[in-house]
Amino acid sequence: MTTLRGIAVFLVCLLAGTTAVCVRPAVADTQVFPIPSASTSKNDGNDAGLIVPILITDPDGELRYLLAPMIIKNSIVGTRGTFNLFRYDTGGRQMQFIGSFTERMERKLVFNYVDPAFSEGRYFLNFGGSFFKNATSRFFGLGQRTIESDQTNYTAREARANWRFGVYANEVTQIAVGQRVRQVSLQRGATDLPFTGDRFPTVDGVQGETIIVGHRATFYYDTRNNLFSPTDGMAVTAYAELNQNVQNSTNPLYSRYELEVKKLFPSESKRAILVIRTDLQATLGREVPFFEQSSLGGQNNLRGYGVDRFIDKNLIAASIEERIHVARAKVAGVAADFEVAPFLDTGQVFNSFKDVSFKDYRMTPGIGFRGIVGANVVGRIDYGWSKEGGAIFAGLDFPY
């Protein structure tokens, strides 16, 4: 009971990159904890505000609901009001709802439901949908050799829906099928940068509305000892996806493929864990919208650059990270482990495999700081350096 409440409070404290120190809740059915919040992002600007987590437990003391209203002042889009709702049920089932309204342009509605043990643990079930407007999206053009001075801004207006159904072949293998629908249109952004539609009018996906319907088959092989904070094992994900661009009558079909491998090498004491990730992506087809292609930059790869810094049809990427345990302390009355994680990310995007060149690889060294509570909650801040000045990212999970 205490552990669940502590984990929930720690999760909320890390939302939006807050560095606040949480207060351990008293044993009660409902608890409220106002917490200051601050974060920064290369594309999204600076945030400062207040988050008010509300924890609701059942008569047995088990956490059932986590409500988290937020009021945030952003340096680019102004004041943002957000309401987060999480519901937790037995068997690992979770439901999430997020609603957000920002002073300038941005909107967000998200619903997601996941049941990792559907029908007595034989199947995996996930479905959800979202609508959002992101007014700080960036585009530099296609290819690895785009330059920083070509940076443009747009508002991504998107609606999405998806479902996935998986069958467990054994304890470490899952085969899943799923579908997705994605509707995208570009509008003028919130910054003083040139509008993407004016600078790159001929790039596929820039003009008009795009509707994508995708069908995916995925293979998962996972021997890691924990899904959220593993210390040993390997994970392999491979998928093939056939997509239809409904608005394109001349070249509507294209396909996407990915193979990702992650391997953890713990020391004997497990106080240091070497993690290696490789990723290969390929897109086949003509007139593929730029936002459907592979990208480098952001909190999960090439962390020295902003989100979607490099975009093209195909991608090769690799990362190496050493997670070093440095301390253990109490957070909300629960034991928390803290890590420092030096890393190196590298990769390139390209239009054709014949274009792959060693000189086009970008490298971003950096360092991360992690807090881990229990087995399910990870908070992190990563700084990556690049020739364009570097970037800072905060998240609620490991980058890979």
User: What gap in Å lies between CA 293 and CA 142, rounded to an integer?
Assistant: 10
Q: State phi, psi for 95 to the nearest 5 degrees.
A: -130, 140
User: What gap in Å lies between CA 39 and CA 41, rounded to an integer?
Assistant: 7
pLDDT of residue 90: 78
User: What gap in Å lies between CA 307 and CA 138, rounded to an integer?
Assistant: 8
Sign of the C-alpha dihedral, residues 117, 118, 120, 122? negative
What are the distances in angstroms from CA 285 to CA 252, 256, 257, 352? 9, 9, 12, 11
pLDDT of residue 359: 85
Helices and strands counted in the chain (H then E):
3, 22
pLDDT of residue 375: 60
pLDDT of residue 23: 45
User: What gap in Å lies between CA 260 and CA 201, rounded to an integer?
Assistant: 33
pTM of the model: 0.85
Which residue in 265, 273, 263 sits closest to 234, CA to CA?
A: 263
Q: Are strands 334-350 and 272-285 parallel, antiparallel or unpaired?
A: unpaired
What is the greatest pairwise CA distance in the chain? 63
pLDDT of residue 5: 44
Strand runs (DSSP E) across 286-333, as ranges? 294-296, 310-312, 314-331
pLDDT of residue 332: 53
DSSP letter at 341 equals E
pLDDT of residue 333: 53
pLDDT of residue 59: 78
pLDDT of residue 7: 45
Per-residue pLDDT of the chain (400 residues; tens, 9 = 90+): 444 444 444 444 544 444 444 444 444 467 777 878 777 777 888 888 998 878 787 777 677 888 889 999 999 999 999 999 988 887 778 899 999 999 999 999 999 999 988 988 899 999 999 999 999 999 999 999 999 999 999 999 999 999 999 999 998 999 999 999 999 999 999 999 999 999 999 999 999 999 999 999 999 999 998 877 889 999 999 999 999 999 888 999 999 999 999 999 999 988 999 999 999 999 999 999 999 999 999 999 999 998 999 999 999 999 999 999 999 886 555 577 899 999 999 999 999 988 888 888 999 999 999 988 766 667 788 999 999 988 888 777 888 8
pLDDT of residue 377: 66
User: What gap in Å lies between CA 170 and CA 126, rounded to an integer?
Assistant: 19
